[in-house]
Amino acid sequence: MLSEFRADLHCHTTCSDGSLSPLEIVQLAQKSGLSGLSITDHDNIDAYATAIPACLQANINLLTGVEFSSTLQDTSVHILAYGFHPENPFIRDFCARHLHRRSARNQGILNLLAKHGMPLTESDLTAATPSLPKAFGRPHIATAMLKKGYVASFQEAFQKFLAEDRPCYTPGIPFSVEESLETIHRANAVAIIAHPHLINNNEVLNVLLNMNFDGIECYYGKFQHDKHERWLKIAKKKNWLVTGGSDFHGINKPLIDLGCSWVDEARFNAIKAKAKG
Q: Shortest gap between Cβ of 256 and Fe ion (angstroms)?
A: 10
Q: Does 69 bind ligand AMP (CB under 6 A)?
A: yes
Q: Does 247 bind Fe ion (CB under 5 A)?
A: yes
- Closer residue to ligand AMP (CB): 27 or 170: 170
- Choose the stretch contacting ligand AMP; rule: CB under 6 A; options: 1-9, 92-100, 134-142, 186-194: 134-142
Q: Does 43 bind Zn ion (CB under 5 A)?
A: no
Q: Does 18 bind ligand AMP (CB under 6 A)?
A: no
Q: Are 242 and 213 in contact (CB under 8 A)?
A: no
Q: Does 10 bind ligand AMP (CB under 6 A)?
A: no
Q: Shortest gap between Cβ of 76 and Fe ion (angstroms)?
A: 9
CA distance 102 to 233: 35
Q: Does 17 bind Zn ion (CB under 5 A)?
A: yes
**Beta bridge partners of residue 79, listed in sequence order:** 68, 193
CA dihedral 35, 41, 45, 49 (to 10 degrees): -50
Q: Shortest gap between Cβ of 247 and Fe ion (angstroms)?
A: 4
The option from Zn ion, ligand AMP, Fe ion, none interacting with 69 (CB < 5 to 8 A, set by class) reads: ligand AMP
Angle at 217 between CA 211 and CA 223, to 5 degrees: 140
- Choose the stretch contacting ligand AMP; rule: CB under 6 A; options: 29-37, 132-140, 216-224, 261-269: 132-140
- Closer residue to Fe ion (CB): 46 or 247: 247
Q: Does 267 bind ligand AMP (CB under 6 A)?
A: no
Q: How far is Cα of residue 256 from the mean position of the Cα atoms in its chain?
A: 14
CA distance 58 to 243: 23
CA distance 188 to 39: 18
Q: Does 246 bind ligand AMP (CB under 6 A)?
A: no
Residue selected from 163, 207, 232, 234 as contacting ligand AMP according to rule CB under 6 A: 163
The per-residue DSSP string of 96-153 comes to HHHHHHHHHHHHHHHHHHHHTT----HHHHHHH-TT--TT--HHHHHHHHHHHTSSSS
